[in-house]
Every structure is written in structure tokens, then in C-alpha cells.
Amino acid sequence: MTSMATNISPMAGARRGLNVGHILLTALSIICALLWFFPLYWALVTSFRHDDETVKNFGLLPENPTLDGYLYVIQHSSLPIWYLNSTIVAVSVTIIAVFMAACAGYAISQLHFPGRRLLWWIILASFMVPAQALIVNHFIIIAGVKLLNTHAGTILPMLITPVTVIVYKQFFDSLPREFREAAVMDGANPFQLLFRVYLPMNWGVTTALAIITFIGAWNAFLWPFLAAQTERMMTVTVGITAVQDAFGVFYGRLMAGAVLAGLPVALAYIIFQKRVTQAITLSAGIKG
């Protein structure tokens, strides 16, 4: 009996230790989550306050909730046009970039042609150069072909997505070669192989990459800021800075603009949460 008691007691102690550690970790996680969430919450709450209340009332909820900020932004800015521009840019970038990346990833992974290895190294190298470092070159080139202040001019430099190519290449590399061989024996050409066998085999990869590309394109600021030179060509992220300049310090309107700008992305995150996580996981090893 004594020995049994001796055996049990350290286990019970370990369980208690585990519980305390678990509680502490949970508490820490909650605190971190609150710290992360509070600015978002505050922006949302402020967007529903009157401006005079913003500097007087520091309560968690607005005293007299109002939609004035939203109405003002919608009525006195080009927000609907910015939304449209953002949608055109983000959707175009998503479709074209993912399509090109799938083709490039497939070619590098599955086809044998001279220079394949060199091309792969160039893609890897391009991934190491930050987009900001190329922004002047992009500006000069796009200005040179007279595409500044057009959708095409905004979209073209944003199509450079080496990470997407790398993820696709890794995905195609991971597929057993028998699928390819079976399709070849069935008479499939490379395009049929890609679009009828490889991509449909796991739409999850494409969906995940499309969502993360869409979010990246929607949130992009620096290049659209340079490329769009009139208010009518601005995207939401660029336009929102115009709201700040035009409205002065009106917290309600500013925050309403910010909330409206971030809303599609937030919705995309919420709806496609799993896919976004998958995309981040897929590219995590690469971004290392």
C-alpha cells in the first residue's frame, strides 16, 4: 500500500503542476488576444461615436451610437469607386497571378526543358528581393509604357508572386508520378494534365493561394499609392488616406473609413478561415 501511495503521489503532483501551467498559459493567451483585439475594437466603437463623445467618453460602449461617420464617408468620399477599383485590382491579380503561378510551378516541377533549373533559381532569387526595392523600377517601366493611373498599371507589378510559384512547385513535386503517367497513357497533353488532373486533385491548394493573394492584393498600399494618381483610380487602402487628409481630425469618420476599408478582408478571413490558415502553413516553410 505504501509503495502504491508513493507511486501515485508524484503523478497527482504532476497533474496539478500541469493544471497550474495550463491555467497560466491560458490566461496569458487571453491577455495577448485582448491586447491584439483592443485597438480593433476601439476603432469599431469609435466609428459609432459622435466626435465630441470620442474625447470625453472612454467607456467600452458608445453612449449614443450613430452611423454619422459611415454616412459621411459614403456620401462625401469616392469610397464606392475605391471599392470597385480594389475589387478589380484584387480579383484580377488573384486570377492572373494564381493562373500564372500554377503554370510556372507545373512547368518547373514536371516538364523537362533547357534552362529549367536556371529559371527555378531566378524565381527563388526574386523571392529574396523585397517588392519595395523594385518600386522605382516598376514606376519607371509602367510610366514608360504609359500605364500609370490605369488598372493595368496597378495590376501588372502586383503579379510577381514567387511564393505562389514555389508553393505550387512543391505541391506538384509531392504528387506521385503515376498520376502523370496514367494521364499521359490516357492521352492527356500538358495543359489537360494541369487543368484536368493536377489542379482538381487538390483545389484546396489553389483556393488557399487565391485567398491569400486576394487579401495581399486588397491590402497592398505602396504600389497602388504610386500608380494611382487621381482619386478615381485609387484603391480603398490608398483612398482612405485621402479621407484622413480631407476630413481632418474627425475620429468617427476616420474610423468608419478604416472599418469600411478593412471589412472585405475581415469577411474573407472569417469565411475562409481554414483556407487562410492552410495557405499560411503552405508558405510558412518557404517564408521561414
Site residues, another protein (CB under 8 A): 176, 178-179, 181-188, 192, 196-197, 200-201, 203
Q: How far apart are CA 40 and CA 57, in angstroms?
A: 17
Query: Is 200 within 8 Å of 208 (Cβ atoms)?
Result: no
Q: Minimal distance in Å, beta carbon 208 to another protein?
A: 16
Q: Minimal distance in Å, beta carbon 201 to another protein?
A: 5
- Among 127, 131, 122, 126, smallest CA distance to 156 is for 131
- Among 13, 48, 24, smallest CA distance to 251 is for 48
Q: Which grid coordinates belong to 23? A: 491555467
Q: Which grid coordinates belong to 221? A: 498600399
Q: Which residue has the cell 523537362?
A: 112
For another protein, the closer CB: 173 or 181: 181
- Among 191, 190, 194, smallest CA distance to 171 is for 194
- Among 66, 64, 67, 85, smallest CA distance to 75 is for 67
Query: Is 53 within 8 Å of 64 (Cβ atoms)?
Result: yes
Cα maximum dimension of the chain: 89
Q: Minimal distance in Å, beta carbon 174 to another protein?
A: 14
Q: Minimal distance in Å, beta carbon 195 to another protein?
A: 12
Q: Minimal distance in Å, beta carbon 202 to another protein?
A: 8
For another protein, the closer CB: 159 or 188: 188
Q: Minimal distance in Å, beta carbon 199 to another protein?
A: 9
For another protein, the closer CB: 36 or 113: 113
Q: How far apart are CA 258 and CA 25, in angstroms?
A: 33
For another protein, the closer CB: 138 or 180: 180
For another protein, the closer CB: 10 or 114: 114
Q: Which grid coordinates belong to 44? A: 469599431
For another protein, the closer CB: 107 or 183: 183
